[in-house]
Structure 1
Amino acid sequence: MDLRFLEVLGWFRAFSDMYLRGLCLSLESLTFLGHASWRVLYLCTSVPAAVHSICLLFFALESPRWLYLQGRNQEAIEVLKIISPETRAYLESVSSRLPRQQHLEQAPRYTIKDLFIRTWAFKRIIVVMIIMFGLGMSYYGVPLAVRDIKLNIYLSEALNAMVELPSFVITPILLESFTRRSSVLVNALVGGASGVLCCFLSLFGRTKIAFALELVSFLCARIGFNLMAVYIVELFPTCVRNCAMTMLRQALVVGGACCPIIASIGRHVPSLSFAVFGFAMSGFGLFVLLLPETKGSSLCDTMEAQELRDKALKISPSF
């Protein structure tokens, strides 16, 4: 997968995330300047979210690969015309050579069950979920525990929202320059080490340096999510890719659900929660060594094609 894939299919996602980061910054400013009530905050979060959802309805495009697998060839061609940099006359001729709906109806249908009944897919999705669980703990927990660092809470939260913006620049560079496994592994180790150092420096009163390391740890958690979102696209074929992405996000949310309990540790032992989040990110990040390297490999559409490709690349049958 090259950067052109991210540029063509991910522009609206990047815009959406930047929009949400700006919303977070504006909410921090609103709370800091006006000490708004919870009703005002609910209104400020609900209305922009509704507008964002409406924009998705009109501007987000369906995946051409998925449309093709569903036999909706004409719709797939129309999407390709929209995202093409210029008019592609050959797309019309391609449409006539695509298999018709009745031929595709004879092909097997895949569901989320296929992720669990095939050994290699089950092991991959479990490893991915373990990694995302650790990233979710850090991504949601580190900003929650920032109150343990004796700094202005409003400024701290605003900077945590702002630090996500560089991740959209750093992630494509890592994807282009390094392998998938090494990028995820090094990122997890750096983020985990930053969290542990943040804990000790905060205990010794070096609050400014500790806060800088907290921002690094949070940035690494965000970059790790971006890297895994691309990695999982290459690990699973089109027929179950949406299901795999759903499991990835579910693991992220479950990790986030556990972080308030860990963050509460800081009330008794200040900043200890940063060390816990750091060890979680690094420890669970080591599981990426169990996944195959996929950089430069082609995307498959079916489970059988994925198995044949992995066999051709001499990837371990277990993973």
Structure 2
Amino acid sequence: MDTRGSTPVGGLPPDSAGPHSRRLGIIAVVATFGGLLFGYDTGVINGALEPLKDDLSLTAFTEGFVVSILIFGAAIGALVGGRLSDRFGRRHNILLLAGVFVVGTLGCVLAPNWEVLAVFRFVLGLAVGGASATVPVYLAEVSPFEKRGSLVTRNEVMIVSGQFAAFVINAIIFNVWGEHQSVWRFMLLVAVLPAIALFIGMLRMPESPRWLVAQGRDDEALAVLRQVRSPERAEAEMAEVYALAEEEKVSQTGGTTDLSVRWIRRLIVIGVGLGVFQQFTGINSVMYYGTQLLADAGFDSNSAIIANTLNGLFSVLGITVGLLIMNKVDRRTMLIAGFSLTTFFHLLVGLSALLLPDGTAKAYFILVFVVLFVFCMQGTIGPLVWLMLAEIFPLKIRSFAIGICVFMLWIANAAVALAFPPVVNALGIAPTFFVFVALGLLALLFITTQVPETRGRTLEELEDQFRREYS
């Protein structure tokens, strides 16, 4: 039976439009404030770093430590956040993370020295990592399968929008209060507003119906489904979720013991591969060090700062295009296309740096190819990896497994972020991007041989498919 498009899946009636559609939209907006905070807190340090270095007298080592400590915190936050989400609920975890965002932000703003700043940057990292592991799961579990791709991808839209907003807000604040030595504190303080909005908003949002079923709270789960589905669809979907939950109780899934189950172990390997190869595209080397990269390419300092804003702009444009086509193209097709395009533009950046003479033309060629890389990456690989991580794992191990995968994603992120500046300094732009080409080819091999298709199937159908195919 065809399970794609608008065809009912597994006997489920179509999810017709109604008041529940608006409610689902509100839930998505509120929950993705976690993604906005993710983006802002990872992007704001870029513009705040220069005044911060002067104010707190950072050395080269302490500068790198303060920047990278958030990434390591995020890796731990993803791992711990997944377990907390499984135990206490997706909504509860997002509320907790909103509080951690507030505490971490205020601690950074008030930090008297770099040591205290590093501690609270680590706290912010815990919140960023927890949000990266929890929000996509929450959105996937409240969404009907027909809209799951677009709704989960909204979180990635908010992440890149948060990064772009950080670039713009930093520029505005610096132009208004740039003479103040502590101007960087104002830049960081802005993040308190979306954190408060997330906390207040989530107080009125429902818990994940699938998590409620896993806890035996069937009446509450049905009540939530009735809020976000048509009446007929809510009843039918509840029956399917309940049947799967009962099956999982028999198989006793839900923790580290599941790593001994062959088909679950195979899915975790796929998830880890997706997360690591997403980071090995080098997207965050561009988002963290884009200005430095463009200066090395031949732009002067002022031009590099201005040109770097194009990376933020085209990041937002790319994710917007990805959102529009997400539910119309198969996941595997988009991943293969995405890795093919990013690898191609890596090659062009490397060849431009290697073959073109130093000068304005070389700088602009590299700028264009880097911007096109960012656009293609954020329109395909970026959102698809987060979406597929939210789709491929069974219910009772979903957050735990995503925690493992996102932990490895953040470790890969940290490795690229720490290695990129010294590698470019030692080898130059061309060899560095040729390394990204080699990693892109490995990613294509992995996608074509290991990654399953998930579009157009309910979460329950996917689990049944994986259990049969990988056991």
TM-score normalised by structure 1 residue count: 0.78
Shift of 1:213: 1.0
* Alpha-carbon offset, residue 220 of structure 1: 3.3
C-alpha distance in structure 2 between counterparts of 1:31 and 1:199, whole Å = 34
Matched, 1:276 2:435: yes
Change (3 A) 1:149 1:74: farther
Q: Distance in 2 between matches of 1:36 and 1:282?
A: 48
User: Partners in 2 of 1:297 and 1:98 — Cα distance?
Assistant: 13
TM-aligned CA distance change 1:229 to 1:32, over 3 Å? same
Is the contact between residue 194 and residue 217 of structure 1 (CA under 8 Å) also seen in structure 2?
A: yes
Residue equivalent to 2:447: 288
Deviation at 1:186, TM superposition (A): 1.7
Match 2:402 to one of 230, 236, 245:
245
Within the alignment, does 1:69 sit opposite 2:214 as a pair?
A: yes
Q: Secondary structure at the match of 2:387?
A: helix
Name whichever of 112-121 and 3-12 sits farther off: 3-12
Change beyond 3 A, Cα 1:207–1:172: same
Question: Per the alignment, do residues 16 and 254 of structure 1 end up closer, same or farther by CA in structure 2, a change over 3 Å counting?
Answer: closer
Change (3 A) 1:158 1:287: same
Letter in 2 for 1:180: R
Question: Hey, what does 2:328 align to over in structure 1?
Answer: 177
- SS of the residue corresponding to residue 460 of structure 2 reads coil
Q: In structure 2, what is the Cα distance between the partners aligned to 1:109 and 1:275? A: 46
1:187 paired residue number: 338
Q: How does 1:129-278 map to 2 (within 5 A)?
A: 129-137=272-280, 138-143=282-287, 144=289, 146-147=293-294, 148-151=296-299, 152-203=303-354, 204=356, 205=358, 206-222=362-378, 223-259=380-416, 260-272=418-430, 273-278=432-437
Q: Deviations over 1:23-70 (max 9, x none)?
A: 23322454577657784324422x333332332223344322122222
Residue 309 of structure 1, CA deviation: 2.7
Amino acid of the structure 2 residue aligned with 1:4: K
Q: Report if aligned partners of 2:222, 2:234 keep a CA contact under 8 Å in 1.
A: yes
Instruction: Answer yes or no: is the 8 Å Cα contact 1:115–1:125 preserved in 2.
Output: no
Q: Is the 8 A contact 1:190 1:220 kept in 2?
A: yes
Q: Give how far 1:169 is off.
A: 2.3
Say which is worse superposed, 182-191 or 134-143, in terms of deviation: 134-143
Q: 1:8 to 1:181 in 2, by over 3 A?
A: closer
Q: CA deviation at 1:106?
A: 6.3
SS at match of 1:309: helix
**Aligned-residue CA RMSD in angstroms?**
3.6
Q: Which consecutive residues of structure 2, in runs of 5 or more, have no partner in the other structure?
A: 5-144
- Cα distance in 2 for partners of 1:161, 1:9 equals 21
Task: Measure the CA separation in 2 of the matches of 1:196 and 1:247.
Answer: 31
Q: What is the number of residues matched between the two proteins? A: 305
Q: Which moved more, 1:154-163 or 1:71-80?
A: 71-80
Rounded Cα–Cα distance in structure 1 between residues aligned with 2:439 and 2:409:
13
Q: If each structure's helix is expressed as a fraction of its own residues, which one has the higher value?
A: 2
User: Displacement of 1:198 after TM fit?
Assistant: 0.7
User: Following the alignment from structure 2 to structure 1, what is the Cα–Cα distance between the partners of residues 457 and 239?
Assistant: 28
Letter in 2 for 1:117: S
Q: Quick check: 1:136–1:252 contact (8 Å CA) kept in 2?
A: yes
In 2, the alpha carbon distance for the partners of 1:173 and 1:230 equals: 14
Q: What secondary structure does 2:326 align onto?
A: helix
Task: Please report how far the alpha carbon of residue 184 of structure 1 lies from its aligned counterpart in structure 2 after TM superposition.
Answer: 0.8
* Cα separation, 1, equivalents of 2:236 and 2:336: 44
Alignment partners' CA distance in 2, 1:97 and 1:265: 52
Paired AA for residue 445 in structure 2: L
Contact 1:68–1:76, Cα closer than 8 Å, also in 2: yes
CA–CA distance in structure 1, aligned partners of residues 193 and 455 of structure 2: 36
Deviation at 1:167, TM superposition (A): 2.9
Aligned position for 1:41 = 184
Mean CA deviation greater in 6-15 or 237-246: 6-15
1: CA distance, partners of 2:266 / 2:179: 48
Please say if 1:125 is aligned against 2:268: yes
Secondary structure of the corresponding residue to residue 161 of structure 1: helix
Q: Does 1:56 align with 2:201?
A: no
Residue 297 of structure 1: CA displacement?
2.5
Point out where structure 1 has 5 or more consecutive residues left out of the alignment: none
